[in-house]
Amino acid sequence: MFQRVWALTAALMLMLSLGATSSHAAQNPHERGPDPSNSYIEQARGSYSVSQRSISRLGSDGFRDGTMYYPTSTADGRFGVVAISPGYTASESTIAWLGPRLASFGFVVVTINTDSRYDQPRQRATQLHAALDHAIGDSVVGPRIDTSRQAVMGHSMGGGGALQAAEERDEIRAAVPLTPWNLKKGWSGVDAATLVIGAENDAIAPVRSHSIPFYESLTNAERRAYLELRREGHFAPNSSNTLIAKYSVSWLKRYVDNDLRYDQFIDPGPRTGITTGVSDYRLG
């Protein structure tokens, strides 16, 4: 009798476990990669091997040129796509480190050179749209992309352009402007989940007149957050930065892939204080 009861109990527990797994998968059909930990998302590469494909000046349409980074394997289905713009006077090389790093966590990533290094945020927004469209239409990369899951990033005026790009395109689910600059301060028209990353010692786009007002104005975004890098300046995003990568990956995984496993890194978010690399963190 005991053995029969034990067997029935074990069978019920297995059914409940399978049901929970099935329900979890149904809620998160775009989960990619292993269960995340701090050590996993802080490392320089995720679980995917990455390939890249150049975009020549003759082959581009709407921006100068660029590079597409994408998971080599197609076993996990389609991925979200992220376009990234450099800042004023800067080239693609200044944001290129983000390409393979983000792609290795399960995204198609396009980094670009803008038509002119002097392009303003609105022009950069248009070129971010063009970069997304180029990747989607590419014969090799396009079939790997879920066109309903788009995101934009950018540094400085590229960050300002990312805000404008998100405001203008419904398919953009997430935006991550990095030490952004824009004369426009109100972004209530953005509904994409937006993580603004500022720098405490930024003298070019001071956080009090750029990043913080941008964050505060994002009243209609699906989610908004502001992360401030302690003792860093305007050009912090121009070289490999663990904090920028960690929280960008977490934000994109959560709001492009709807991967609830990454909530743990967003809420409550990073600790702040003199012993950390974060001087301010706000979540709305």
User: Has 155 been annotated as catalytic?
Assistant: no
Catalytic residue, chosen from 60, 155, 234, 279, is 234
User: Has 22 been annotated as catalytic?
Assistant: no
CA atoms lying within 13 Å on the CB side of residue 284: 20
Residue in the block written with tokens 């053995």: 3
Count of Cβ atoms closer than 10 Å to residue 284 Cβ: 12
Distance CA 199, CA 195 (A): 13
For 45-202, strand residue ranges (E) read 50-55, 65-71, 79-85, 107-113, 145-155, 172-178, 193-199
Catalytic residue, chosen from 85, 104, 156, 250, is 156
Distance CA 97, CA 166 (A): 22
Count of Cβ atoms closer than 10 Å to residue 45 Cβ: 12
Distance CA 145, CA 107 (A): 8
Specify whether the CB–CB gap between 119 and 165 falls below 8 A.
no
Structure tokens at 38: 């701090």
User: Has 49 been annotated as catalytic?
Assistant: no
Catalytic residue, chosen from 115, 119, 133, 202, is 202
Distance CA 210, CA 202 (A): 10
List residues with catalytic annotation: 156, 202, 234
